[in-house]
Chain A
Amino acid sequence: MRVPLNWLKEYVDIDISNNELARKLTEAGLEVADIQIIGGSWDKVYVGRILAVEPHPNADRLKLATVDLGNRQWTVVCGAPNLAVNDKIAFALTGAKLIDGHTGKLEELKPAKIRGVYSEGMICSEKELGISDNHEGILVLPQDYEIGKPLTDYMGDAIFDIDITPNRADCLSMMGIAREIAALTGKPFRMPDLSYQESGKEVESLISVEIQAPDLCPRYCATVIEDVKLVPSPKWMQDRLTACGMRPIINIVDVTNYVMLEFGQPLHSFDYKQIRGQKIIVRRAADDETMYTLDGQERKFKHNNLLIADAERAVAVAGIMGGLASEVQEHTKTILLESASFSQAVIHRGALALKLGSEASSRYEKGLNPELTWYAAKRATQLMAKLGAGTVAKGIVDCYPGKPEKKPVSISERDVKRLLGFDLTLGEIERCLSALGLECEKAGAGAIYAYKPWWRNDINCTADLVEEVARVIGYDNIPESLLSSPLPTGEGSRLFNFRQQLREIMAAMGFQEIITYPLTSIEVLKKLSPEGELKGPAPLKLENFMSRDLEYLRNTIRAGVLSVLGRNQRNRDNNIRLFEINKAFIPRAKDLPKENEILCGLVDSVVPDNYWQSKPKPADFYYTKGVVQAVLAKCGIQADFVSGDDPSFNQACCADIMLGKTRIGVIGEVHPQVLANFDIAEKAYLFELDVERLFSVASKPLVYKAASKYPSVTRDIALLVDADVTYDNIQTALKKFSIVTEFRLFDLYKGKQVPAGKKSMGFRLTYQAADRTLKDDEVDGIQKQILALLSKEFGVTLRS
Chain B
Amino acid sequence: MLDQLEEVATQANAELQKASSAEELETWRVRYLGRKGQLTNLLRSLRDVPIEERKAAGARANQVRNTLEAGYTAKKEKLDSSTTVSIEGDKIDISLPGEPIQIGRFHPTTRAIKEICDIFISMGFQIAEGPEVEWEYYNFEALNMPAEHPARDAFATLWVDYHTPTGARPMLMRTHTSPVQIRSMEKIKPPVRIISPGRVFRYEATDATHEWMFSQVEGFAVDKNITMADLKGTLFEFARRLFGQDRKCRFRCDYFPFVEPGVEIAIDCFMCGGKGCRLCGNSGWIEILGAGMVHPEVLRGCGIDPDVYSGFAFGMGVERIPILRYGIDDIRLFYSNDLRFLKQFS
Contacts and interface: CB of A to CB of B under 8 A. Distances in A.
A493 B150 contact: no
B161 A418 contact: no
Contacts of B297: 461
Given A418-B227, A478-B232, A507-B106, A488 B205 contact: no
Contacts of B339: 512, 568, 571, 573, 576
Contacts of B338: 567-568, 571
Contacts of A345: 147-148
Contacts of B337: 514-516, 564, 567-568
User: When A and B form their complex, which 3 residue pairs have the shortest distance between CB atoms, in order from nearest?
Assistant: A421-B229, A421-B227, A29-B253
B11 interface: no
29 contacts: A26-B252, A27-B252, A29-B262, A166-B150, A419-B261, A421-B229, A463-B260, A466-B261, A471-B253, A479-B233, A481-B229, A484-B225, A496-B129, A507-B103, A508-B103, A511-B104, A514-B107, A514-B342, A517-B335, A540-B160, A542-B159, A546-B205, A567-B337, A571-B339, A577-B104, A583-B132, A585-B133, A592-B131, A611-B100
Contacts of A132: none
B104 A513 contact: yes
A713 B329 CA distance: 63
A278 interface: no
Interface residues of A, number: 95
Interface string A558-597: 0000001001100101011101000101000000110100
A642 interface: no
Given A461-B260, A463-B295, A509-B104, A480 B191 contact: no
A745 to B, nearest CB: 20
B67 to A, nearest CB: 14
Contacts of A568: 337-339
B237 A482 contact: yes
A475 B252 contact: yes
A418 B224 CA distance: 9
Contact of B126 (A366, A462, A492, A506): A492
A507 B132 contact: no
B32 interface: no
A87 B107 CA distance: 68
Nearest to B102: A510
B94 interface: no
Contact of A496 (B127, B153, B232, B340): B127
Given A512-B342, A568-B339, 7 more contacts: A29-B253, A495-B129, A503-B110, A515-B337, A540-B162, A567-B338, A592-B134
A479 B102 contact: no
Contacts of A546: 203-205, 212
A490 interface: yes
B233 to A, nearest CB: 4
A513 B310 contact: no
Contacts of B128: 492
B157 to A, nearest CB: 8
B101 A510 contact: yes
A542 B223 contact: no
Given A483-B230, A575-B102, A515 B109 contact: yes
A464 B260 contact: yes
Nearest to B254: A29
A486 B309 CA distance: 13
B228 A488 contact: no
A495 B221 CA distance: 20
A341 to B, nearest CB: 16
A585 B254 CA distance: 36
Interface string B245-260: 0000011111101001
A36 interface: no
A470 B237 CA distance: 21
A544 interface: yes
Contact of A348 (B148, B188, B334): B148
Given A471-B253, A507-B104, A543 B227 contact: no
A753 B302 CA distance: 76
A487 interface: yes
Interface string B118-154: 0001011011110111110000000000011011011
The size class of the interface chain B forms with chain A is 35 or more
Contact of A463 (B104, B121, B129, B293): B293
A618 interface: no
Interface of B: 62, 83, 96-97, 99-107, 109-110, 114, 117, 121, 123-124, 126-129, 131-135, 147-148, 150-151, 153-154, 158-162, 169, 171, 173, 188, 191-194, 197, 199, 201, 203-205, 212-213, 221, 223-230, 232-234, 236-237, 250-255, 257, 260-263, 283, 293, 295-297, 310, 334-335, 337-340, 342-343
A495 B162 CA distance: 30
A510 B225 contact: no
A26 B126 CA distance: 33
Contacts of A514: 107, 337, 342
B296 A463 contact: yes
A445 B173 CA distance: 49
Contacts of A496: 117, 127, 129, 197
A711 B63 CA distance: 12
Contacts of A575: 102
A470 B228 contact: yes
B135 A592 contact: yes
A544 B261 contact: no
Given A496-B117, A543-B169, A613-B99, A510 B104 contact: yes
Contacts of A593: 133
B125 to A, nearest CB: 8
A76 to B, nearest CB: 36
A29 B339 CA distance: 42
B298 to A, nearest CB: 10
A542 B160 contact: yes
Nearest to B261: A467
Contacts of B102: 510, 575, 577
A263 B338 CA distance: 53
B236 A480 contact: yes
Interface string A514-550: 1111110000000000000000000011111110001
A365 interface: yes
